[in-house]
Amino acid sequence: MLVIRPIQSSDFAALRHIAEESGAGFTSLPVNDGRLQQKIVHSEASFAQQVEQPGQQGYLFVLEDTATGDIVGTTGIEAAVGLETPLYHFQQNRVMHHSAELNVLNQLKTLTLCNDYTGASEICTLFLRQSYRKGYTGRFLSKVRFLFMAEHPQRFADTVIAEMRGVSDGNGQPPFWGWLQKLFLTIDFPTADHLIGVGKKAFIAELMPRHPIYVGLLPEEAQQVIGQVHQQTKPALKMLQQEGFVHRGYVDLFDAGPTIEARLSQIHSVASSLKVPVRLVEQLDHGQMLAISNTGTQGFRASFSDQARFDEHEGVLLLKPELADALQLSEGELARFIVLEKGRR
């Protein structure tokens, strides 16, 4: 069985392996022992903290295969980004250049450095090992964050964002990066990527362009990828769009991938989740494919299974005992769930 739980200190070796496997561009898990240890400690403290409003908390979950004890994926939430270290984006805008005398009207695209998402919550750090990328696992790994957020809304901001990976070439280099490197940063992409991953972001404010940039002046290959996602990121983007996330013109500084946003209360899996009592049953006919969690914080557990069914008439969630045990749920306790199959509640 695959179970989501909060990360703990004993997971360090597995987290480092995932950081190595995830590769360049996955800045939320840098291959840096100190930074990874810090993330685990910070996450453990965040889960333990009593929270009335979002702050510096960061929640990192791991996906464990209980049959083997292996950690096969990660997923995370930052409660409020940019409070301590600014979170920068380029914002896409349009400016009008008009000459009445010449009867010329030009509408030109620009990019402007900003930190407009300060204080927003961010879903992040989603990674699933290749051999587990099948069935409902990837969908569950994305949606389980919304179960936790629905249960503990006071821990998160009204606005939730997700930074989507932008386009890169066969060598892992973003076409958007070249002009920035040449004109402003004079460091290579792996170095910049590493600095971001370990939290050293001061160079952005110090070296990035402070004035709006006319997109038409950029190389053609850079213009073409603005707001576009990496081929492997398209399924994740589609899934979040189905949840209600939209792109309002903000893109990553280095690969120009889109940052998308939604209101927490309007995210489909948050709004449609139900919190009901559990009833244990030995036999279950016509099970549903559900993502189910308990209502804990430090003791949060979640899984997905068709060994469950919501009884609408009784208003209870029917679970087989082995699934309830994995979720640390007993008869009569409350659970929260969503249906994973498209088109069903």
CATH number of the domain enclosing 76: 3.40.630.30
What are the Cα distances from residue 78, in Å, to 142, 189, 275? 14, 25, 24
At 163, the pLDDT band (50, 70, 90 cuts) reads: very high
Domain count, the chain: 2
Of the two residues 340 and 41, the one the predictor is more confident about is: 41
Quote the pTM value.
Answer: 0.91
pLDDT exceeds 50 at position 239:
yes
Q: Quick one: 286 and 263 in the same domain?
A: no
Q: Are 179 and 215 in contact (CB under 8 A)?
A: no
Does residue 303 lie within any of the structural domains?
yes
d(CA 336, CA 304): 12
Mean pLDDT over 227-242 rounds to 93
pLDDT reported for residue 344? 43
Q: For the chain, first and last CA: distance in Å?
A: 23
Domain co-membership, 68 together with 12: yes
Decide which of 238, 268, 298 is a domain's last residue: 268
Mean pLDDT of the chain: 91
Q: Same structural domain for residues 179 and 63?
A: yes
Q: Find the mean pLDDT for residues 215-238.
A: 93
Following CA atoms 211, 214, 219, 220 in sequence, which dihedral angle do they give, to the nearest 10 degrees? Answer: 150
Handedness of CA 200, 201, 203, 206 (dihedral sign): negative
What burial class does residue 93 get, using C-beta atoms within 10 Å of its C-beta: 0-12 exposed, 13-18 middle, 19+ buried?
middle
In a domain, 232, yes or no: yes
Q: Where among 215, 240, 268 does a domain terminate?
A: 268
When pLDDT is cut at 50, 70 and 90, the band that residue 195 belongs to is confident
Asked if residue 301 lies in contact with residue 330, where contact means CB atoms within 8 angstroms, the answer is no
For residues 83 and 187, membership in a common domain is answered with: yes
Question: Is residue 249 domain-shared with residue 176, that is, in the same domain?
Answer: yes
pLDDT of residue 185: 79
What value does the mean pLDDT take over residues 270-284? 95
- Residue 217 has which token pair? 């002046």
56 and 186 in a single domain? The answer is: yes
Structural domain that includes position 161: 2-89+115-268
Assess whether 296 and 169 both reside in one domain: no
Residues with catalytic function = 230
Domain shared by 70 and 40, yes or no: yes
Residue with tokens 């004890």: 69
pLDDT tens for 88-115 read: 999 999 998 888 888 888 889 999 999 9
Q: Where are the alpha helices (DSSP H) in the chain?
A: 12-22, 33-48, 137-151, 177-180, 189-197, 202-207, 220-224, 234-243, 268-272, 321-326
What distance in Å separates the CA atoms of residue 242 and residue 246, rounded to the nearest whole number? 9
Answer whether residue 97 is part of any domain.
no
Let me know the angle formed at the C-alpha of 130 by 125 and 136, rounded to the nearest 5 degrees. Answer: 80
Tens digits of residue pLDDT in 7-20: 999 999 999 999 98
